[in-house]
């Protein structure tokens, strides 16, 4: 995040913020008149309101937030975190009662039946699976028999069809990629001799996982559970992050440290850069030196990518581009940083966070087809740090 201060003679940014404030006031008046300021939200009068809600993690801390890299890990300002659920129309925010001082990174199954999250217990991170209301919670990573060798687990991701699950186990020095069934059973380490790999994403069509990590200079690697093979897909490209399979399993999407959005065939052919200027990390403050990788989001039909990039004024905003690299479009025009963009399950909405409301980011909703201003869904004192869509229509 960048903090801009205007003093003395009015600057271009001051004028831009003034214009933005004016637009906000006008939009707010319009919203008040049509009733949505009182919880009507987007299209709630329509019989086609999608059956979705959002689950998000909220971080809280005292004073200013800071982080920095230290040997063997990351040092941060002490925080507490918890999960919340909010209706699609922005009403009924409800805390999900999960014990523990740190509960973060929710990931909903595509059918809406299950939720994964990271929970910290006695200094160790675990992957937990439970119902969206927090009930039936059970630790699935690391498996109990692995705990002595791999006490930490993080970075859980479902395949696009929800049949498989990948995550990372860590021993305090390095990590390994794990593939399991969606319920956490039949967990296996993939290519353990490959080295430190994480940011894992499973394929819906085979027992393959794409990952990245320090082992090969953050080159993308495809790990196979069938034969235990590990194949480097980007030998010419280092510093690759956040890989994910397209729904058909034929294409991989990823970002690079240089700020590029890329695609490549799942067989390692035809690498292509789709966009430039991406904001690779999401940061909670100017002193958040470590930050965390801000994953792009692939639309449910696999045709379009939403991501965070800097606009001409240098502000991280929401952009989209086709998976072929055509039709790039800036979707938001906030005056302060955005992050964590995610497509809704029907591809009609984009949820993300923005700092426009203050020093801590809040949850926003935007219609993908445009034509209406973003709606701010939360106004809490904590920072909305990560989020997932919950498909309530399936359960």
* Statement to judge: residues 199 and 110 lie in one domain: yes
* Statement to judge: residues 117 and 261 lie in one domain: yes
Instruction: Count up the domains in the chain and report the number.
Output: 2
| CATH code for position 157 | 2.120.10.30
118 within domain boundaries:
yes
pLDDT at 393: 58
pLDDT at 88: 86
Provide the residue range defining the domain that includes 31: 10-40
> Residue 50 contacts by C-beta under 8 Å, 6 or more apart in sequence?
88, 344, 345, 346, 348, 349, 393
114 within domain boundaries:
yes
pLDDT at 319: 98
* Statement to judge: residues 219 and 76 lie in one domain: yes
* Statement to judge: residues 155 and 253 lie in one domain: yes
71 within domain boundaries:
yes
Question: What does the buried/exposed string (b/e) look like for 183-193 if buried means 16 or more CB atoms within 10 Å of the residue's CB?
Answer: ebeebebbbee
> In the chain, what is the straight-line distance between the N-terminal and C-terminal CA atoms, in Å?
38
* Statement to judge: residues 35 and 56 lie in one domain: no
Q: Residue 144: CA atoms inside 13 Å, Cβ hemisphere, count? A: 2
Rg of the Cα trace of the chain? 21
pLDDT tens figures, 201-248: 999 999 999 999 999 999 999 999 988 899 999 999 999 999 999 999
307 within domain boundaries:
no
DSSP track, 39-106: TT-TTTTSTT---EEEEEEEEE-SS---EEEETTEEEE---EEEEEEEETTS---EEE---SSEEEEE
Can you tell me the distance from the alpha carbon of 122 to that of 59, in angstroms, rounded to the nearest whole number? 18
117 within domain boundaries:
yes
* Statement to judge: residues 120 and 244 lie in one domain: yes
* Statement to judge: residues 253 and 110 lie in one domain: yes
Q: Which of 181, 60, 81, 163 is nearest to 125 (CA)?
A: 81
Q: Are 110 and 388 in contact (CB under 8 A)?
A: no
Can you tell me the distance from the alpha carbon of 220 to that of 131, in angstroms, rounded to the nearest whole number? 33
Structure tokens that stand for 57 in this block? 């993690």
pLDDT tens figures, 38-78: 233 444 334 345 679 999 999 999 999 999 988 877 899 99
Q: Give the residues of the chain that fall short of pLDDT 50.
A: 1-48, 394-395
Can you tell me the distance from the alpha carbon of 334 to that of 374, in angstroms, rounded to the nearest whole number? 10
* Statement to judge: residues 119 and 222 lie in one domain: yes
Can you tell me the distance from the alpha carbon of 298 to that of 253, in angstroms, rounded to the nearest whole number? 8
Structure tokens that stand for 231 in this block? 């194949």
Q: Which of 356, 391, 377 is nearest to 36 (CA)?
A: 377
* Statement to judge: residues 30 and 169 lie in one domain: no
pTM: 0.87
350 within domain boundaries:
no
Burial class of residue 377, CB neighbours in 10 A (0-12, 13-18, 19+): buried
129 within domain boundaries:
yes
pLDDT at 371: 84
* Statement to judge: residues 22 and 86 lie in one domain: no
* Statement to judge: residues 213 and 280 lie in one domain: yes
30 within domain boundaries:
yes
Burial class of residue 87, CB neighbours in 10 A (0-12, 13-18, 19+): middle
* Statement to judge: residues 155 and 286 lie in one domain: yes
Which backbone phi and psi does 358 adopt, to 5 degrees?
160, -155
Q: Are 311 and 20 in contact (CB under 8 A)?
A: no
Can you tell me the distance from the alpha carbon of 156 to that of 362, in angstroms, rounded to the nearest whole number? 23
């Amino acid at each position: 995040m960048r903090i801009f201060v205007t003093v003395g003679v009015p600057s271009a940014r001051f004028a831009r913020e003034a214009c933005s404030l004016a637009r906000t006031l006008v939009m707010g008046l319009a919203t008040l008149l049509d009733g949505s300021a009182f919880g009507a939200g987007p299209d709630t009068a329509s019989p086609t309101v999608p059956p979705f809600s959002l689950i998000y993690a909220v971080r809280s801390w005292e004073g200013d937030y800071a982080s920095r890299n230290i040997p063997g890990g990351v040092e941060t300002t002490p925080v507490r975190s918890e999960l919340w659920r909010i209706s699609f129309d922005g009403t009924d925010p409800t805390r999900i009662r999960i014990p523990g001082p740190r509960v973060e990174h929710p990931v909903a199954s595509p059918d809406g039946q299950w939720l994964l999250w990271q929970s910290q217990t006695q200094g160790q991170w675990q992957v937990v699976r439970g119902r969206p209301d927090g009930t039936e919670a059970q630790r699935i990573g690391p498996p109990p028999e692995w705990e002595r060798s791999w006490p930490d687990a993080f970075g859980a991701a479902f395949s696009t069809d929800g049949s498989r699950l990948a995550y990372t186990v860590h021993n305090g020095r390095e990590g390994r990629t794990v593939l399991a069934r969606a319920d956490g059973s039949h967990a296996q380490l993939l290519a353990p001799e490959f080295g430190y790999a994480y940011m894992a994403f499973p394929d819906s069509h085979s027992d393959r996982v794409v990952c990245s990590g320090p082992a090969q200079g953050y080159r993308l690697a495809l790990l196979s559970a069938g034969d235990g093979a590990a194949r480097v897909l980007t030998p010419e490209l280092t510093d690759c992050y956040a890989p994910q399979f397209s729904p058909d399993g034929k294409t991989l999407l990823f970002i690079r440290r240089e700020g590029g959005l890329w695609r490549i065939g799942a067989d390692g052919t035809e690498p292509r850069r789709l966009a430039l200027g991406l904001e690779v990390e999401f940061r909670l403050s100017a002193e958040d030196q470590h930050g965390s990788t801000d994953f792009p989001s692939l639309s449910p039909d696999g045709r379009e990518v939403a991501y965070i990039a800097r606009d001409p004024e240098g502000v991280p905003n929401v952009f989209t581009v086709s998976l072929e690299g055509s039709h790039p479009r800036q979707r938001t025009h906030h005056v302060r940083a955005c992050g964590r963009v995610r497509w809704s399950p029907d591809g009609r909405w984009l949820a993300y966070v923005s700092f426009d409301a203050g020093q801590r980011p809040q949850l926003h909703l935007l219609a993908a087809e445009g034509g209406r201003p973003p709606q701010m869904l939360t106004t809490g004192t904590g920072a909305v740090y990560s989020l997932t869509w919950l498909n309530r229509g399936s359960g």
